[in-house]
């Protein structure tokens, strides 16, 4: 994963929860662990973030033609927003 190679502390879902874990359980785990969530699942996680008063943050990754393009947009967002710009916000990359 590009974020790990760039020195970011990343936990992938499959490392901590079963692959069929419901979105609410995934969101609760990210919240409890204080982790910014990165997901392409805009509908479910956007609604969960809006329903949560204070959360670590959500990045909705917009699907692009290539994984390289997705990674480039994600890295650009991280560089531009910084950690403080991501916390308790919903961002799109």
Better-scored residue on pLDDT, 84 or 35? 35
Helix 23-33 to helix 42-51 angle (10° resolution) is 50
What's the whole-model pTM score? 0.89
pLDDT tens profile 3-23:
999 998 999 988 999 989 999
Query: Could you tell me the residue range of the domain that residue 54 belongs to?
Result: 2-92
Number of compact structural domains in the chain: 1
The pLDDT value recorded for residue 83 is: 75
Q: What is the DSSP string of the chain?
A: -HHHHTT-----HHHHS-TT--HHHHHHHHHHHT--EEES-HHHHHHHHHH-SS-S-EEEPPP-SSHHHHHHHHHHHHHHHHHHHHTT-EEE-
- pLDDT(1) > 80: no
């Amino acid at each position: 994963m590009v974020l790990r190679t760039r020195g970011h502390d990343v936990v992938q879902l499959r490392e901590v929860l079963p692959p069929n874990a419901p979105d609410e359980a995934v969101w609760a785990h990210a919240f409890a662990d204080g982790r910014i969530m990165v997901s392409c699942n805009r509908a479910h996680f956007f609604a969960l973030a809006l329903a949560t008063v204070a959360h670590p943050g959500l990045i909705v990754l917009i699907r692009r033609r290539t994984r390289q393009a997705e990674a480039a947009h994600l890295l650009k967002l991280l560089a531009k927003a910084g950690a403080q710009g991501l916390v308790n916000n919903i961002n799109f990359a």
